[in-house]
Amino acid sequence: MTFTGIIALLYSNKYLRQLRKLIESGRGTFSDTFRYTDKSADLLGDLFYGSVLDMPDEERITSCVELLRDRHKDINGLFDIAQRSLDKKAGLSIAPQHVPFDEERAKQIGTSLTDKTVPETTIQRRAKSATANATRSMHDDCIEANAKFRAKAGLQCYITRTTDGSCCKWCTQMAGRYEYGSEPKSVYRRHDNCGCMVTYENGRKRQNVWSKKTWEVPADDAGAPPPVVFTQEQAAAAGAPPPKSFTKEEAQELNSVNVKKNSAKADSVHNSSIDISEENGIIEAKNNTPATQQDIHEFESLLSKLGFESITGFENYTESKEHLLEIVEDFSRLKADFPDYFKGLKLDFGVIEGMTDDDYAAYYPKTGTIYLNPVFYNNFNSLIEVYNSDVRSHHHPDGTDYRATIYHEFGHRVQHISDSKPKRIAKEVFEKINNSYYTRKLCDLWLSSGLSKYAKYFDYDELIAESFAEYYCSQQPREICTEIMKYFLK
């Protein structure tokens, strides 16, 4: 994957787009800018890890520098917006401090990727961990620089470091809330794969990142509060996820998972979480009457009659009966055209390892299971809003709506069971419609404009799924879609 391809995937990620929208609206806090940075770091690390060995030495260096420069500009820009928004609410007018890009560090990381004395696995590990760590440090630098500047200006500042719930002993001991100047010197440091969050508060009013309630600054003679050190249990109580542990066999199984997803980036395995509920103001909750257990039982019965082998997890469903009936209707249309593909099909209201909170749904070929992500399917307002945003940006097909996610995942099943070759199909349809010789670049541009940007991803693995989405969900399926669907409908 090229530098341009990596940048495109970073900016197309749903999780990052949601956070960007929140921050740019003026409602973001430093916990939101950190979450944005943390996800950016993981995505950049994963993408560079998978691409670095295909790059010549010089390109490894230049790509590393430019990728980190782009992250620096992006993170600092959003931090600036959040800082100004928080200052405005607190009645302050102080220019945010900007930290220069550390080009020397970026070059050092890039140069380490050309080391001929180490195995390729080491090069990949460096490409992943070093770039991710450098990206997270950019946010830490913003926190440190602005806290320092404001403390010198006479404002009372506090530094807070919280763990991610799966931290080491050192991070656990470092976690806490400190008045600026009394914090440990290493509070801004992080080791590889460290997910600890560092934020600060200052001014006449500031925001508690946990309760989002306003705090008043203590009087000048109140004295500095003692540091509050968080244990792992306290960090978990504050909302951090518990640490995960797997047996050797479970780890090997998860490592072999091949998940097809309706997502902006289907190869991410980082389970960062974003609350797309009314709590953080991204989406207003929809006031629907929740389905009863009887409604859910009838829904499961209807799907069983269609041929599903199992329907699981819906005891946790909290949305309306109306949406359950829409799911039944969607699968009924697919059953009419593809009856043989329902044998052994399973539906689960939940997630599988490898899915993230920006995935609407996923298909796991090994077990024949379609997973519906409760993050969206227990909040249809969110599903509708985010999917419509994807359509407006042409990430998903024009003329479709949120119900296209069901057709998309079933398309993955048809592709898997039929053992079709998406790249070959793309080439044949491209040459037939355009009466022109196929090239990858021309085909990518053609699919992006004539179907969706997502259709070209992952060596065209998403092409069939996006064609199913448009064919069944749009009132006017376009030529690319109809030509591809002819292949399967016959």
- Tell me the DSSP string of 245-276: ---HHHHHHHHT---EESSS-TT---------
Q: Give bridge partners of residue 206 from the DSSP assignment.
A: 215
Burial class (CB in 10 A: 0-12, 13-18, 19+), 217: middle
Tokens of 328: 């039944």
Encode the chain (490 residues) as per-residue pLDDT tens digits. Answer: 677 778 888 888 888 988 989 998 888 889 899 999 999 998 999 899 989 999 999 999 999 999 999 999 999 999 999 999 888 887 787 888 888 999 999 999 999 999 999 899 999 999 999 999 999 999 999 998 998 888 888 888 888 888 765 557 777 777 788 888 888 877 777 776 677 888 888 754 333 333 333 333 333 333 333 444 444 444 444 444 444 444 445 444 444 456 777 764 333 322 333 333 333 333 333 345 899 999 999 999 999 999 999 999 999 999 999 999 999 999 999 999 999 999 999 999 999 887 877 789 999 999 999 999 999 999 988 899 889 888 988 899 999 999 999 999 999 999 999 999 999 999 999 999 998 899 998 998 899 889 999 999 888 989 999 999 999 999 999 999 999 999 998 8
Residue 235, pLDDT score:
43
The residues, ordered by sequence, that sit 6+ positions from 419 with a Cβ below 8 Å of its Cβ are none
- DSSP helix/strand/coil, 66: helix
Closest CA to 110 of 71, 68, 75, 73: 68
All structural domains of the chain with their residue ranges: 3-234, 260-265+288-489
Burial class (CB in 10 A: 0-12, 13-18, 19+), 261: buried
Percentage, residues of the chain above pLDDT 90:
49
Residue 263, pLDDT score:
65
| C-beta atoms surrounding 408 within 10 Å | 31
- DSSP helix/strand/coil, 76: helix
Task: Give CA–CA dist 313/311, Å, rounded.
Answer: 7
| C-beta atoms surrounding 429 within 10 Å | 24
Q: Give bridge partners of residue 200 from the DSSP assignment.
A: 159
Residue 167, pLDDT score:
59
428: left (phi over 0), alpha (psi -120 to 50) or beta: alpha
392: left (phi over 0), alpha (psi -120 to 50) or beta: alpha
The residues, ordered by sequence, that sit 6+ positions from 417 with a Cβ below 8 Å of its Cβ are 341
Residue 288, pLDDT score:
59
Beta strand 346-349 with 310-312 is: parallel
Do 114 and 57 contact (CB within 8 A), yes or no?
A: yes
Query: Where is 197: in which H helix or E strand?
Result: strand 197-201
- DSSP helix/strand/coil, 102: coil
Query: Where is 177: in which H helix or E strand?
Result: strand 176-179
Residue 164, pLDDT score:
63
Enumerate the H helices of 212-352 as residue ranges: 232-237, 248-255, 293-306, 321-337
The residues, ordered by sequence, that sit 6+ positions from 226 with a Cβ below 8 Å of its Cβ are none
Q: Return phi, psi of residue 481, to 5°.
A: -60, -50
Residue 165, pLDDT score:
58
Task: Give CA–CA dist 293/316, Å, rounded.
Answer: 10
Task: Give CA–CA dist 10/39, Å, rounded.
Answer: 9
- DSSP helix/strand/coil, 216: strand
Query: Where is 370: in which H helix or E strand?
Result: strand 369-372
Number of H helices, E strands in the chain: 18, 10
| C-beta atoms surrounding 330 within 10 Å | 18
Residue 276, pLDDT score:
32
Residue 230, pLDDT score:
46
Residue 202, pLDDT score:
72
pLDDT in tens, 93-128: 788 888 899 999 999 999 999 999 989 999 999 999
Q: Give bridge partners of residue 161 from the DSSP assignment.
A: 176, 198
Do 217 and 101 contact (CB within 8 A), yes or no?
A: no
